[in-house]
Amino acid sequence: MFTKKLMLLRFHSHFLTPPYFFPKLLLSSTSTLSFRRITTACSAAVISSHSLSSTSYGPSLQKGTLPLKPHQNPILNSAINPPQQAQTPENGDEIPFEEDHFTRVFEIAAIRVPSERCFELEGRIRGHLLNWPRVSNIARVPGDEIDEEVQGLLMEDKGLGTEEENEVEKAVSRRIYGKAEGDGEELSGVLYRDKLAKEFNARGFVIEECEGEGENVGGDLSGLLGDEFKGRKWRGSTRLLLLDETYAGKKFDELPEAVKAAFMEGSSEATKSSCELVRCNLTLSYDYWSNDEVLEALLPKDMIIPSAFETVGHIAHLNLKEEHLPYKKVIAKVVLDKNKPKIQTVVNKIEAISNDFRTMELEVLAGNHSLVTILSENGLRFQIDLAKVYWNSRLSTERQRLISCFTSDDVLCDVFSGVGPIAISAAKKVKRVYANDLNPYAVDYLERNTVLNKLERKIKVFNMDGRRFIEAIFSSETHPVTQVVMNLPNNAVEFLDAFRGIFSYKTRERKLTLPMIHVYGFSKAEDPEFDFHERIRVALEEAAVAVEMRRVRAVAPGKWMLCASFVLPEKEEDKVQEKVGSVGYVAK
C-alpha cells in the first residue's frame, strides 16, 4: 500500500520562474530542501544552471524546483543552503535520509480537451506530448465523473442572481464532493475516489486544481468546476494532454503548427472553445524515482550503483562490495522501497559459501527478519529457509535447459539435490527420481516440496554423503539409472571417482545401461573447457572421455561455471557377464 503520492499535477495561471537546479543530493539528517522562487538577485545563477542542463530531456533529480511548503516565504526560502555532504558512517551506523528531499516540481504546459476526443488527439500529436517514463500523457480532472442530472444542472443557464448562483454552487458542490465550505459531511463517492487515487494511483500521478486562468484556444477564458466555477457554464468532462516540456511558458500561437492543426481541423466551434491551454506543475516525489536514480543521488559520485540483486520469494539477496558496506542500510532501504510489495526483506551475504551444506551467512538489512519463503519456478512451488538451505534463482534457465534433455523413460539420480529444484521439476517428466543431499534441513524441505507439488510417489529421498549415495543406488537399483546430475560446482568433479568400477562383477540377464553424467564446476583457467575436461578425465582415471562442454555463466571476472555432459565410460572390468544357456558365462 502506497502512502505517498507518486506525482502531483497542479494548474496555475502563471508559470513559475525558470527551474533552479540543485547539486547532487547528499546524505544528511539535518539538511533542509525547499522550493526556491528565484528573485532578480539570483537570476544569473538560474540562467547558468538552466544552460548547463538545456540539452537534457526528461525527468531528473538535477532538474526542476523544490515544492514550496505551506505558509513559507519564497524569498526567505531562497536563502536556505542545499544539503551538505554527510560524513562516511562508522561502526555500521545507518545514514538517514528524508524522502521529501527527492520531491521535484516541473513546469509543463497542457491542453484541456473534451474527454471523448482525448485519445484521438493523443494519437495525432504523440510526438509533441510529454512522453516521460511512468507518466501518462493523459491526465484526469477531479470531479469529471458526475452523473447526468448534475451535468444538466451545470449546462443550463438558469438566469439566477448572484446570491442564488452561490446557492446553486454550494448545492452542486455538495452533490459532487459531499460537502461545501462549513459542512461536516463525509466525502462523496467522487471525492473519495480522488482521495484513493492519490494514495494508490497505479498510473503514477494525480491532479489538484488551483485557482487560475488558462488560454482558451478560441480566445476566450473559461473556468473549472470547483473553486473556479464562478457561475459560468460547465463544459462537460475533460482531460489534459500533457505537452512536451520544451513548450512550457509558450502561448497557443507559439506551439508547432502540427499541434494547432490537430485541434483546429475538423472541430466545431463548441469543441474549439472547450480546448484550453493551461499551465501546470508536475510534482514527482520519492516514490516516482527509480532505484538507480535514488542511489545515484545518495551514494558518492564515483561509486558503482549496486542495482542488481537476486530475488528469492519475498527476499532480495544483495551481494555488496566492500565499498558499499558503509552505505548498506541506505541501499537496502531504497531496494525495499522500490520493490514493495513483492520484496519484504533485504539481505546481504556476509561470507562466501565454505561449508559442506552450501549455506551462507546472511545479514538482514531491511524489512522483516523472516527468511522462510515460498517461490515459484517452472510452474512448481518451493518452500525454503534461506538461512539453512541453498538456492540460486539465477540458475533457473539452466535447470530448465537440463530438464529439457530428459525423456519420459529416464530414471534420474540427483546427487546434490538441495531442496529439489531439479529433482522435483524432472519428476513431472521422467519415470523415477532418486534425490539426495547431505544437508538434513535441505532434505526436510525437499520432502515438503515433493508433497507440496504432489510428486512424492515419483521421488525417493536420501540424506547421505554423495559417494555413498552413488554406490548405494547403483548397487541396489530397481530401475536402471539413465541420467545423473551432480550440481555442486565447488567440488562435484571430485565425486566422480565413485563411478570407478561401479558395474564390476555384476551378472545380469539384461543389457547394461550406461548413464549420462551432467557434472557442474568452476574454472578460472585461461581455457576453462580444457581445464574442466582434464579434471574429469583424472577423476575417472580415463585416457580420454568424450565430453560435451557448455559455459553456464560467468560468476566473477575470469571465473566460469561450466556443465560437462558425457556418457559414463565402460571399463574393461565393468563389462557385464551374460549367461550362455545353462553351462556358464562368457564376457560380453
Provide the annotated binding site: 399, 437-438, 465-466, 487
Whole-angstrom CA distances from 237 to 124, 143, 214, 367, 487 are 20, 8, 17, 43, 62
| Pair 193, 206: CB distance under 8 Å | no
Q: How far apart are CA 92 and CA 329, in angstroms?
A: 9
Spell out the residues 6+ positions from residue 513 whose beta carbon is closer than 8 angstroms to its own: 480, 481, 482
| Pair 134, 163: CB distance under 8 Å | no
Spell out the residues 6+ positions from residue 268 whose beta carbon is closer than 8 angstroms to its own: none
304-309: long-range contacts at Cβ-Cβ below 8 A with a sequence spacing of 24 or more? 306/331, 309/335, 309/346
273: Cα separation from own chain's centroid: 44
Going along 183-275, which residue ranges are E strands? 206-208, 215-216, 238-242
Cα torsion 486, 492, 493, 499 to 10°: value is: -60
Cβ neighbours of 574 (radius 10 Å): 18
SS3 of the chain: helix, strand, coil, percent, to 5: 30, 20, 50
Give start and end residues of each alpha helix (H) in 229-327. Answer: 257-264, 269-274, 291-298
CA proximity to 473, closest of 513, 523, 421 = 513
Spell out the residues 6+ positions from residue 21 whose beta carbon is closer than 8 angstroms to its own: 49, 50, 52, 53, 62, 63
Phi, psi of 162 (to 5 degrees): -60, -45
Residue 527 sits at the vertex; the CA angle it makes with 524 and 533, to the nearest 5 degrees, is 90
CA proximity to 299, closest of 549, 26, 83 = 26
Give start and end residues of each alpha helix (H) in 275-375. Answer: 291-298, 328-338
Phi, psi of 167 (to 5 degrees): -65, -40
| Pair 513, 481: CB distance under 8 Å | yes
| Pair 447, 421: CB distance under 8 Å | no
Q: How far apart are CA 170 and CA 164, in angstroms?
A: 10
Distance between terminal CA atoms of the chain? 71
Angle between helix 162-177 and helix 148-155 axes, rounded to 10 deg? 160
| Pair 388, 364: CB distance under 8 Å | no
- Residue ranges for the known binding site for S-adenosyl-L-methionine are 399, 437-438, 465-466, 487
Residue 183 sits at the vertex; the CA angle it makes with 180 and 189, to the nearest 5 degrees, is 65
Cβ neighbours of 120 (radius 10 Å): 11
